[in-house]
Amino acid sequence: MNVSSLTIAFTLAWRNLWRNYRRTLIMLLAIGLGVWAMVFMTAMMRGMVDGMLKDGIRALPGHVQIHHPNYLDDPSVANSIAEPQGTLLDALNHPQVDAWAMRVKVPAVISSERETRGVMLLGVDAAAELNLSFDISHITQGQFLPSLTEEELAVDVQAQKAAKGIVIGVKLAQKLETRLGKRIVVMTQDIDNTIVDRGFRIVGLYQSDIPGFEEMYVYSDRRLIQSMVGLKGQVSEIAINGDGYRDNQALLSHIANASPADMKVESWRQVDAYLSAMLEMMDGFVLVWIVVIFLALSFGLMNTLIMAVFERVREIGLMQALGMRSSGVMRMILIESLLLLLLGLAAGNICSLLSIAAIQDGIDVTAVAEGMAMFGAKAVLYPVLQYSDMLLANVVVIVLGLLTSLYPAWRAAHYDPIVALNKH
């Protein structure tokens, strides 16, 4: 193969493409539409799942988490870690860390005067938790826990009352048949496995986009819970957020390097297997989605190329008679296919970028929001274009497109020149 034979193959491929311009335009429309569907619909699905993941990760795990090495297997108070100090505290306050919070997290039983439920009791620092995970707009009645220092708490009686309160989910309140301002009792095991209980006044009710979250998690002051379960100076976990949830290796290393040996630093993927599986499923689904659309496209592509070859049997025979090798004929047909694919890809990519830009502020899916909520999705969807998805769509279309074109190209390359020249 030399440059000039490649040039003539490109020239012929390009001009042949426009001999039947209607057919080429229809095929370009089909490829463009397919690519648009691949990229745009993937961005919408990504947006939906991304929202669910961000909410899920933000809600509790954080991007990176520090805990006792045995905590994930046995999340009891016995598997606690010391509150951060020294090098670890410095690492947590480093600019690489966006937000962090330490928590005491113990399984508990919550009782109103009518009902009893199993919950997860979270002892949190209000300011840190609001910064890291809790969205204050989710409070529907009352307030979140007060963000006060120990000195402020010592002198402020009202703050003391609020700090002794508890924030529970709206749905949990409904199940317990209780309401804001009422007292409930929380019962759990302390560090010595002794049953301890304590009365709390409900100071706030919250709602969550995450299914089941409202019924499971209740918030109270960390110091209060530490005192209740006998965990002075100890916490169950430290949750940390960095730039984003996808690539958190740098953050993980940064924290791991500063952590004592008796603490384990893990990514949210290890901490929350469900969310991790959801992301993996989404990545797999994107590939399946792209391939399925391509399969529909491939029939049209193959048909177009077979027709194009069939119409040019004599010319192909002539080229072979003049000395073009079979590989040259194949190259010419494959270049024609490549040009068709590249033009279709360009059209599809531009259209998908424009349509994603047009709805960058989100589209309201209230009409189906109830159904979406079942999956933890929000009523407003924001498209999330991942360039890796776009690249995947482009690579799939080019690679599978060329593979699909191999048959017509092979067929063209193996005509008997004499038979081809006598074809009418």
Binding residues vs other proteins (CB under 8 A): 2-5, 7-8, 11-12, 15-16, 19, 314-315, 318-326, 328, 417-418, 421
**Comparison of 183 and 414: residue with beta carbon closer to other proteins:** 414
Kindly tell me the number of DSSP H helices and DSSP E strands found in the chain. 17, 14
**How many other CB atoms are there within 10 angstroms of residue 3's CB atom?**
7
* Nearest-angstrom CA–CA distance, 356 and 16: 34
Task: Report residue 23 as tokens.
Answer: 């057919």
**Comparison of 11 and 140: residue with beta carbon closer to other proteins:** 11
* Nearest-angstrom CA–CA distance, 329 and 213: 63
In whole angstroms, how close is the CB of 273 to other proteins at the nearest point?
Answer: 58
In whole angstroms, how close is the CB of 406 to other proteins at the nearest point?
Answer: 19
In whole angstroms, how close is the CB of 315 to other proteins at the nearest point?
Answer: 6
In whole angstroms, how close is the CB of 30 to other proteins at the nearest point?
Answer: 23
**Comparison of 94 and 325: residue with beta carbon closer to other proteins:** 325
Q: Identify whether the C-beta of residue 410 lies closer than 8 Å to the C-beta of residue 333.
A: no
Residue in 201, 196, 257 with CA at minimum distance from that of residue 227: 196
**Comparison of 5 and 147: residue with beta carbon closer to other proteins:** 5
Q: How far is CA 111 from CA 40, 59, 186, 359, in A?
A: 48, 24, 6, 46
In whole angstroms, how close is the CB of 4 to other proteins at the nearest point?
Answer: 5
In whole angstroms, how close is the CB of 63 to other proteins at the nearest point?
Answer: 58
In whole angstroms, how close is the CB of 309 to other proteins at the nearest point?
Answer: 15
**Comparison of 328 and 362: residue with beta carbon closer to other proteins:** 328
**Comparison of 12 and 166: residue with beta carbon closer to other proteins:** 12
Task: Report residue 379 as tokens.
Answer: 């009523």
Q: How far is CA 205 from CA 137, 141, 180, 396, in A?
A: 11, 5, 7, 49
Instruction: Tell me the pairing of strands 264-267 and 64-67.
Output: antiparallel
**Comparison of 6 and 291: residue with beta carbon closer to other proteins:** 6
* Nearest-angstrom CA–CA distance, 407 and 420: 17
In whole angstroms, how close is the CB of 250 to other proteins at the nearest point?
Answer: 52
Going through 112-209 in order, the beta strands assigned E by DSSP cover 116-124, 139-142, 165-169, 183-189, 195-206
Q: Identify whether the C-beta of residue 186 lies closer than 8 Å to the C-beta of residue 197.
A: yes
**Comparison of 227 and 326: residue with beta carbon closer to other proteins:** 326
In whole angstroms, how close is the CB of 325 to other proteins at the nearest point?
Answer: 5
| Sequence-distant (≥ 6) Cβ neighbours of residue 85 within 8 angstroms | none
* Nearest-angstrom CA–CA distance, 160 and 294: 63
The HSE-up count of residue 31 (CA atoms within 13 Å, CB side) is 31
DSSP symbol at 325: -
